[in-house]
Amino acid sequence: MAEKRDYYEVLGVEKNADDATIKKAYRNLAKKYHPDMNPGDAEAEKKFKEASEAYAVLSDSEKRQKYNQFGHAAFDGGAGGGYGGYDFTGTDFSDIFGDIFGDIFGGGRSTRGRSNGPMKGNNVRTSVKMTFEEAVFGCNKEVELNVKDSCPACKGSGAKPGTGTETCRKCGGKGQVVFPQQSFFGVVHNVQTCPDCGGSGKVIKEKCLDCRGTGYISIKKKFSVEFPAGVDNGQCKRMPGLGEPGKNGGPKGDVLVEAVVARHPIFQRQDMDIFSTVPMSFAVACLGGEIVIDTVDGPVLYEVKPGTGTDTRVRLRGKGVPSLRDAKTRGDHYVTLVVQIPNRVSHEAKELLKQFDAITGDSLNAATKFREEHGAGADTDPKKSKRKKFF
């Protein structure tokens, strides 16, 4: 049999580590190598048992003192079926091991159980549609919700009028029940909220006929929700106290209303900035001049400089989306200018374009001049020219 590793080395702690450090180190290792988290992994099971043996010794002050003095030899005569022959009898794993099983099986972390005190109710989510402009400048929207209100018949108690509650027989009024959990070291007792009374310790003798013992009824209500300027798609407005009823006298949850912003045919948004594309004529691009640009504030005039090329981006300061923190602070509007080419050109316009081209470089006759300069040696086959171009 291979020589045992040092217990401090197994847990990864120093020899002068305090009890809390040792407990924390073991808990992390036990969760990592627990067989239920590593089914069929023999190596993980071995490490789990090894860490458990180390913890059983180092968590006990008397055993730890013997180990520090004599090492593994202090327990060579131990009987039992523990890892490497170590006897786990008398070792208390209930506190830490209950935490581990609670994490693995979802029964809550502590063996002391979950609190049966007042608990806030769950939140409810809904959504409302709005236009791009409404999101930019803020708006009021009306939403209709099915909310749970206190039952008028039993006044929220859930009990039939004239009756009351009695102590829960399952938990004896404690609000918690203890159940056994089999482990490698025997039976560990875990604690959960009582399923019969929900942690209150009381059960209703006779349920209210109107609410069937729940203490509330579902009704439709309309609410006005104010969204601030600058709200973005997917952001929520919180409405406190309109959600699910709380437990054991706890407050109601909240309603979260999500903004669903419609797409705009022209504008696109990124955080506080707006982007759009605006066409400009060939004449304006060459000669310069004013163009009309649509913004969320309405149309504005912009002076284009002569010789402005396509895909030029201009910035309209303060024409973007307001900040949620300060509506006076706004982003910018970025506009991409694109030269617009007409699909159809009149005969008169064609003649004028030819004259313009002749003055500005005569690009329309560039191919003819090339042939004249190179004579018969010039490649005039269009198909061959294309092949040369690509290959």
348-365 average pLDDT score: 86
Long-range own/partner contacts, residues 90-95 (CB < 8 A, 24 or more apart): 91/56, 91/59, 91/60, 91/185, 93/52, 93/56, 93/183, 93/185, 93/188, 94/188, 94/189
Q: What is the pLDDT of residue 284?
A: 92
Three-state secondary structure of 120-170: CCCCEEEEEEECHHHHHHCEEEEEEEEEEEECCCCCCCCECCCCCEEECCC
Question: Greater confidence, 112 or 300?
Answer: 300
pLDDT at 260 over 90: yes
262-284 average pLDDT score: 94
Q: What is the pLDDT of residue 165?
A: 82
79-103 average pLDDT score: 50
**375 Ramachandran zone, left/alpha/beta (phi>0; psi -120 to 50):** left
Query: Binning pLDDT at 50, 70 and 90, where does residue 262 land?
Result: very high
Q: Say if residues 88 and 59 touch (Cβ distance below 8 Å).
A: no
Write the pLDDT tens digit of every residue in 50-59. 888 888 889 8
Least confident of 6-15, 32-41, 66-75, 182-191: 182-191
Give the residue carrying structure tokens 């504008």. 267
Query: Binning pLDDT at 50, 70 and 90, where does residue 80 land?
Result: very low
Question: Greater confidence, 253 or 190?
Answer: 253
Percentage of the chain lying above the pLDDT 70 cut: 82
Secondary structure (3-state) at 261: strand
Question: Greater confidence, 313 or 169?
Answer: 313
191-218 average pLDDT score: 82
Query: Binning pLDDT at 50, 70 and 90, where does residue 271 land?
Result: very high
Q: What is the pLDDT of residue 107?
A: 43
Return the H-helix or E-strand segment holding 97.
Answer: helix 94-105
Percentage of the chain lying above the pLDDT 90 cut: 29
pLDDT at 39 over 80: no
**Mean model confidence pLDDT for the chain:** 81
Question: Greater confidence, 33 or 300?
Answer: 300
Question: Greater confidence, 322 or 3?
Answer: 322
pLDDT at 1 over 60: no
Question: Greater confidence, 30 or 299?
Answer: 299
Write the pLDDT tens digit of every residue in 114-164. 455 677 888 888 999 999 999 999 999 999 888 888 888 887 778 888 887
Q: What share of the chain is helix, strand, coil (3-state, %, to 5)?
A: 30, 30, 40
Note the pTM of the prediction, 2 decimals: 0.56
Query: Residue 121 carries which side chain, given as an amino acid letter?
Result: G
Q: What is the pLDDT of residue 85?
A: 46
343-361 average pLDDT score: 87
Least confident of 32-46, 350-364, 369-383: 369-383
Q: What is the pLDDT of residue 264?
A: 95
370-380 average pLDDT score: 69
